[in-house]
Homo-oligomer: A and B are copies of this chain.
Amino acid sequence: MALEFHISPGGSVPIYRQITDQINHAVLAGHLQSGDALPSVRALAETLVINPNTVARAYGELVRDGVLESQQGKAVTVAPRRQKYTKAERLRRLEPALQAFVSAALLLGFTPAEIGAMVERRLAEFASRTPGKGDGRD
């Protein structure tokens, strides 16, 4: 089964970002495995009724991030997952999302216990694809 992309052109999140998010999510959830091929730039652009450049940008950023791989004349594929960033850099990149989530949750009146439970429940949904037992190094 191929991926199904859903974009909402009017939203505040840019289209290319919606695409990268969905691919990231699919990789995380295991719907896309290492080596899987993605739809071609032109094909995806056609099904989403957007400009091929927009798809190319999404793919390009993921390639630069090491999530995807591309070779001339061949389809873009999912790259093997590897730990790319140092612990410090990973914390730095996660910080805004952490801050936004915790602030919003508290301001909306949730208790710490409720917040912790929500996070755990959500994490459990992804449990199928844990990134490996890990060797502790980064």
Interface residues on A, range: 35 or more
When each residue 79-96 of chain A gets 1 if its CB lies under 8 Å from chain B and 0 otherwise, what string results? 000111110111011111
* Cβ A26 vs Cβ B107 within 8 A: yes
- A94, A106, A109, A111 interface centre (most CB from chain B within 10 Å): A109
Main secondary structure of the interface of A (DSSP, over half): helix
Q: What are 27 A-to-B residue pairs whose CB atoms are below 8 Å? A: A10-B69, A10-B71, A14-B72, A21-B103, A24-B107, A25-B108, A27-B107, A28-B106, A28-B107, A61-B64, A82-B92, A83-B88, A84-B85, A85-B86, A85-B108, A85-B109, A86-B86, A86-B138, A90-B110, A94-B110, A94-B118, A97-B101, A97-B105, A102-B123, A109-B131, A116-B123, A138-B138
Q: Which residues of A contact B (CB under 8 A)?
A: 6, 8-14, 21-22, 24-31, 61, 64-66, 69, 71-72, 82-86, 88-90, 92-112, 115-116, 118-120, 122-123, 126-127, 130-131, 134, 137-138
